[in-house]
Structure 1
Amino acid sequence: MMKMREYKLVAFFVLMLLCCSGSTYGLTFDKTVKTGLGEKAEWTVMVYMDGDNNLESNAIDDFFEMSDVGSTEKVNIVVQFDRIGGYDSRYGDWVTTKRYYIIQGMTPDGDNAVEDIGEANMGDPQTVIDFVNWGMSNYPADHYCLIFWDHGSGWKTPQSHGRKYVCEDETDGDELETYEFGDALRVITNNGVNKLDLTGFDACLMGMMEIAYEIKDYTHYMTASEDTEPVAGWDYYNTLWDLVNNSSEITGRELGELFVSYYSGYHITLSTLDLNQVEYLTTALDNLVISIQLKKYRDEIQDAIDNVKAYTSDSADLYNFIELIQANIHDTNVDDKAQMVLNEINNVVASEKHDIYNENSHGIAIYLPYYNYDQNYDSLRFTQGSQWDDFLRWWFYGNPGSNPPTKPVISGVKEGSVGTKYSYSFFSTDPDNDDLYYYILWGDYSDEEQIGPVVSGETIERSHTWETDGGYIIKAKAVDVHGAMSEWSYFRVSMPREKIVNQLLINKFIGLLKQMFPSFF
């Protein structure tokens, strides 16, 4: 018969065996593990997993890929998982939204969650903000990765009302539109002061210029697919395995490159983009599309649109389109500007993968509609900060025989003081004597002004007040009634609060001296 001490020893070794075996059958996880402020890790990976739709089964499968690795002292893996009834009944068939700190061997049973937040609308940007703030507060780290997991879509879908979206919540009938997750990241990062290291979209069709531009100020790198994704999605096991074993050496760029390198399947594209380079690409693209808006190039542009690598009827590979423009238009100026765009794309695309079914994919797509222009496109940051939408409007609406108006001449005060209204004049002429519209940006956060139509050669005046001191650039362009547009004009103004005050004091002092000592003046 065993003595009590021997029983205790046997029980101890059995318990140790269970703990070290990696088996979790019949076990639950302590909810108190890692629920409060702990030591700062090197990485926290936050997965916003929207399984509240027909991808619920795939979400469960990817949960296991993450738990096959599990968190460590150096790497936190946290998941916000929303489910729905009717697609997959495994692991309790719960239908709320739960948060998990992923431990090796964990199952997505409800009892293993750190907390249940009820039915959360994953299509609400505030839900994103709440999750990331929770993740950062409870699992602080030197580096952060946020992954949006779910459906993604192109521009022409009824569900998205003409806009691109990710994370479709079937229960709440909502999804995250582009401006919404852009706004969420703006809040999370304090207007970009604390940028995320990597933002990923494990979703279809999100690897676009418009998405990159929307979040470029809030995250250093972005990983996404130009084309649709296979339902298996990304390889979380191998990527996270490399991360937990090399956490101190891996940067945001390198983590994105790992996701790309391990990605596999049929009909795939995936790339990691350096968003710090996106503004340079935008400038190069602007310079090119302004230069090709001429009637004589319409056949060459049409050929490029007809032959470009397209993913839907509205999106295509940007690099391939520019290659075709460069090959079709035999003009040194256009060739040089096209090459600048290609060079900048190479700078943006840090890593890229595609299979034989996606030849001519280079890592970043752009809105290039074949049939018509969707006015909802105008709501994006990219359209407000680039000339691409102007190029598309010219392509669809511009009169091939219309000549562009002259660059507007801007006149007015160059130096003033904040809080004071100043008047500026704008003047342009149209070679065809067409009526004109003026588009004016004041260089602050005010909305773009549109004036017109006005007669060609008529001077218009507009007033504006700047509320904060600093330097500003007024921008103006003229567009005729057929869509032919001028180049932008630029007019620099300065509103130095202290300088103006000091100058007034100096002028007053000089006036006083003139009264006291008139013979010296």
Structure 2
Amino acid sequence: MKRPQIRKKLSILAILWVTGTAMAVPTADWTIMVYMNAKNTLECDALENFAQLATLGSTSTVPVVAELGRPKLIMDGGKLRSRNRCGDKEPWDGVLRFFVTKNQQPLPRNAVQMLGAADMGSAETLRKFVDWAKTNYPAKHYLLVIWNHGQGWRFQTSPNQAVNANFSRDRIPALLTEESNKAGTKARPLPPVGGFRSVSFDGDTKHFLYNRDIQDSLGSLLGARKLDVIGFDACLMAMIESGYAFRSLATVLVASEELEPDRGWDYGDILRQVQDHAGALDARGMGELLVESYKRVYRDRLKTTLSAIKLDNVDGFADAISRLAVELVKDLALERQQIANARVACRNYGENQNLTNSIDVRQFATKLLEVTKNGEVLRAAKEVTDLLDAQSLVYSHYASKRSQGDYGSFGISIYFPASKHDFDEDADKDGYLRSNSNHAVEFVQKNEWSRFLDRYLKLSGN
């Protein structure tokens, strides 16, 4: 006699699962969380990537949730004044949360929650998203993707032209070059977001999402229960500085040493692979899967890289870099020219945007081994290369042929401006001062590389 009531209760639970409102749901294998800050000129790219997520959507074993922000619409007398650049029939603004289902459209009526004008440049907004996702969609494993697109190559622009002018003057003097044109985009001045200090920008609030804010806010939320993988679908994030910042947040970091093309990650391909192997995937396996997917998409057509970095081993690697820095400082007057020669032999990531501050760690250590005769420097540099060759830190990485050679691209980069002038021109240079307390970079404060850079750049004087 109770069977109809049981069926009714099961039907209600199923509806709650599909709509993403259930608080108590079966434990999935992987929950995928995508934080898509497109509150800038990047919204069209975000809609394309959302469509990729929706090609398959969520399953009971792999729920997919996304927090998508779009910039303010400009209204005049009740009519839309700003051009609808993305061509969608129902433009909207603000921030929406989605439990992504198959063929879903990213529209307010399909959202699980509407967050109004939430500031996506705030780490508190990110923290609330992760907390909500973990509470509502518990799983054995978690992947958090922090998404940041650009036009052509993944630098984003503000919708405010005055802000663009300031960024183009203060952060980067160059226009997009032939690489972005090959990607089918129009050249324009773009601010670099990504690297050792920040990852994303909210064009409505004019706030940056800083790495230190992510580190502190998610650290307080997660405690000892790390995420399995934190991935950055953004430029220049596979740095020792980033890995050091996020080492307490996740087991694996997946990110690029180089700029990323406009298409970024292929979420349709990623979801297919995850759904096919969800029960067998651990954090290490997910990292490898993401790298292999990126490799399948880009192969050798552009300058592209992606790395999977085991964050448990970041501390030991940072110690090795500190030991190298100490040895370089000891005989800096004698070693200065050898250091300069090794640095010149390393190509800069982001050079298509005239960036000169980020190089591959192993490439520098290798070139140093070729030019120095100092026994202590040789031992310290060899320790760095040996740790990377052991693949205990970077255990999976991909670099297109165009990203090899003098780039090295062995999987992890470091901040090393080509000259004192380049350091002085870096709008984020204060982040590499040990005395800085404004969104302080922990690697800078706790390791010796920053002391070496300060001494070396002052001595080089160019």
Question: 1:231-380, aligned counterparts within 5 Å?
Answer: 231-263=262-294, 264-265=297-298, 266-293=302-329, 294=331, 295-311=333-349, 312-345=355-388, 346-359=391-404, 360-372=408-420, 373=423, 374-378=429-433, 379-380=440-441
1:184 lines up with 2:184 in the alignment? no
Separation (CA, whole Å) in 2 of partners of 1:367 and 1:143: 32
Task: Give 1:36's aligned residue.
Answer: 22
CA contact (8 A) 2:197 2:431 kept: no
State the 1:336 CA deviation.
Answer: 2.3
Question: 1:86-125, aligned counterparts within 5 Å?
Answer: 86=83, 87-125=85-123
CA contact (8 A) 1:309 1:320 kept: no
- Counterpart residue type for residue 55 of structure 1: L
Indicate which of 39, 48, 55 corresponds to 1:52.
39
Separation (CA, whole Å) in 2 of partners of 1:333 and 1:210: 24
CA distance change for structure 1 residues 163 and 332 in 2, over 3 Å: closer, same or farther?
closer
Separation (CA, whole Å) in 2 of partners of 1:110 and 1:238: 26
Task: Give 1:157's aligned residue.
Answer: 171
State the 1:322 CA deviation.
Answer: 0.7
CA distance change for structure 1 residues 368 and 170 in 2, over 3 Å: closer, same or farther?
same
**CA offsets, 1:287-321, max 9 Å, x none?**
11211221211111001111112112111111101
Q: Tell me the TM-score normalized by structure 1.
A: 0.67
- Counterpart residue type for residue 179 of structure 1: R
CA contact (8 A) 1:91 1:110 kept: no
State the 1:34 CA deviation.
Answer: 2.5
Separation (CA, whole Å) in 2 of partners of 1:353 and 1:114: 36
Unaligned runs of 5+ in 2: 1-14, 74-82, 157-166, 173-190, 350-354, 424-428, 434-439
Unaligned runs of 5+ in 1: 1-28, 401-521
CA contact (8 A) 1:129 1:187 kept: no
**CA offsets, 1:374-406, max 9 Å, x none?**
332132100112100011011023599xxxxxx
Separation (CA, whole Å) in 1 of partners of 2:56 and 2:324: 47
RMSD value, Cα: 2.3
State the 1:189 CA deviation.
Answer: 1.1
CA contact (8 A) 1:40 1:140 kept: yes
CA contact (8 A) 1:197 1:221 kept: yes
CA contact (8 A) 2:240 2:318 kept: no
- Counterpart residue type for residue 321 of structure 1: F
Separation (CA, whole Å) in 1 of partners of 2:88 and 2:121: 24
State the 1:344 CA deviation.
Answer: 2.0
State the 1:182 CA deviation.
Answer: 1.3
**CA offsets, 1:244-288, max 9 Å, x none?**
121110011211211111113321111111011111101111111
State the 1:371 CA deviation.
Answer: 2.5
1:65 lines up with 2:52 in the alignment? yes
**CA offsets, 1:323-363, max 9 Å, x none?**
11111112343222212111223321121111122111111
Greater helix share, 1 or 2?
A: 2
1:223 lines up with 2:254 in the alignment? yes
CA contact (8 A) 2:306 2:399 kept: yes
**CA offsets, 1:93-144, max 9 Å, x none?**
1101111111112121221111111111110010001101110111011111
Q: Which protein shows a greater Rg? A: 1
CA contact (8 A) 1:214 1:381 kept: yes
Number of residues of Structure 1 aligned to a counterpart in Structure 2: 370
Task: Give 1:395's aligned residue.
Answer: 456
CA contact (8 A) 1:70 1:104 kept: yes
**CA offsets, 1:22-51, max 9 Å, x none?**
xxxxxxx98962312211111111000011
CA distance change for structure 1 residues 320 and 163 in 2, over 3 Å: closer, same or farther?
closer
Runs (4+) off by over 3 Å: 29-32, 151-156, 158-163
CA contact (8 A) 1:82 1:122 kept: yes
Separation (CA, whole Å) in 2 of partners of 1:229 and 1:341: 26
Separation (CA, whole Å) in 2 of partners of 1:270 and 1:278: 17
CA contact (8 A) 1:270 1:354 kept: yes
State the 1:153 CA deviation.
Answer: 6.4
CA contact (8 A) 1:34 1:101 kept: yes
State the 1:188 CA deviation.
Answer: 2.3
SS of alignment partner, residue 292 of structure 1: helix
Task: Give 1:142's aligned residue.
Answer: 140
SS of alignment partner, residue 262 of structure 1: helix
1:201 lines up with 2:232 in the alignment? yes
Separation (CA, whole Å) in 2 of partners of 1:185 and 1:272: 20
CA contact (8 A) 1:35 1:114 kept: yes
CA contact (8 A) 1:92 1:110 kept: no
CA distance change for structure 1 residues 91 and 149 in 2, over 3 Å: closer, same or farther?
farther
CA contact (8 A) 1:91 1:108 kept: no
SS of alignment partner, residue 347 of structure 1: coil
Separation (CA, whole Å) in 2 of partners of 1:317 and 1:110: 43
Greater strand share, 1 or 2?
A: 1
CA distance change for structure 1 residues 205 and 326 in 2, over 3 Å: closer, same or farther?
same
